[in-house]
Amino acid sequence: GESVGLHLPTLSVQEGDNSIINCAYSNSASDYFIWYKQESGKGPQFIIDIRSNMDKRQGQRVTVLLNKTVKHLSLQIAATQPGDSAVYFCAENMAGGTSYGKLTFGQGTILTVHP
Amino acid sequence: EAQVTQNPRYLITVTGKKLTVTCSQNMNHEYMSWYRQDPGLGLRQIYYSMNVEVTDKGDVPEGYKVSRKEKRNFPLILESPSPNQTSLYFCASSFRGASYEQYFGPGTRLTVT
């Protein structure tokens, strides 16, 4: 597969464990915070988003937590599976203004799930 | 199948030889964007378009041009490619009101020698 980063943070878990991936963001004015998953050789894929006026949102096997006080975002994956192995990116998005539509990505975290 | 397609997937070219990377989406999305992905630098936005005939610069527009003559297509043009444009390029699209949920193409690996 193609390398997407050098010296990215890594997280190794056993199949069935829960995974927590963290991200520090920079722009307090962002309207949305999002998690994307990128598998080797593919484009990023949307996982889940959270609006800035929320602190928690749940999806299927995933939960995103937003702590605006410390500008921290996390993605929790329940019962992690080998198919979850990928690079995970957090991103920020503006819903209006001159930066409308722009996604600003974090550096990414490599998640490896061992069977 | 709803998708974003890019062509070519791989391209090796020489400095100064104009090239175009095509991007097409079949989801009737208003918003389209180009990103480049480089080791250690992550994904950075090059250009984006909010609708037909409306384009604007992203974070790293130098050396690139785009056009949006049709809703479904958003080609990326490198008029005079240089080695520092060697990168992995992604096209993405979304509905205008949901730009946080962008659909990405499979990527184009460009090498400029």
Q: Is the pLDDT of residue A101 over 70?
A: yes
Q: Is the pLDDT of residue A98 over 80?
A: no
Of A38-42, A84-88, B37-41, B101-105, the one with minimum mean pLDDT is: B37-41
Reported as a pLDDT band with limits 50, 70 and 90, residue A99 is: low
Residues B52-86 have pLDDT tens digits of: 999 999 999 999 999 999 999 999 999 999 999 99
Distance from CA of B60 to the nearest CA of A (A): 12
- Cα distances from A3 to residues A21, A39, B105, in angstroms, run 20, 11, 17
Is the CB of B99 less than 8 angstroms away from the CB of A93? yes
Chain A interface with B: residues with Cβ < 8 Å: 2-7, 31-32, 34, 41-46, 49, 89, 91, 93, 95, 100-108
The rounded mean pLDDT for chain A is 90
Q: Is the pLDDT of residue A2 over 50?
A: no
Q: Is the pLDDT of residue B96 over 90?
A: no
Instruction: Give the pLDDT of residue A11.
Output: 95
Residues A9-42 have pLDDT tens digits of: 999 999 999 999 999 998 888 889 999 999 999 9
- Cα distances from A31 to residues A22, A48, A54, B55, in angstroms, run 19, 14, 10, 22
Q: Is the pLDDT of residue A62 over 90?
A: yes
d(CA A102, CA A33): 12
Q: How many beta carbons lie within 10 A of that of residue B6, not counting itself?
A: 21
Instruction: Give the pLDDT of residue A113.
Output: 97
Contact yes or no for B28/B7 (Cβ under 8 A): no
Is the CB of B40 less than 8 angstroms away from the CB of A7? yes
Is the CB of B100 less than 8 angstroms away from the CB of A93? yes
Mean pLDDT over residues B23-43, rounded? 94
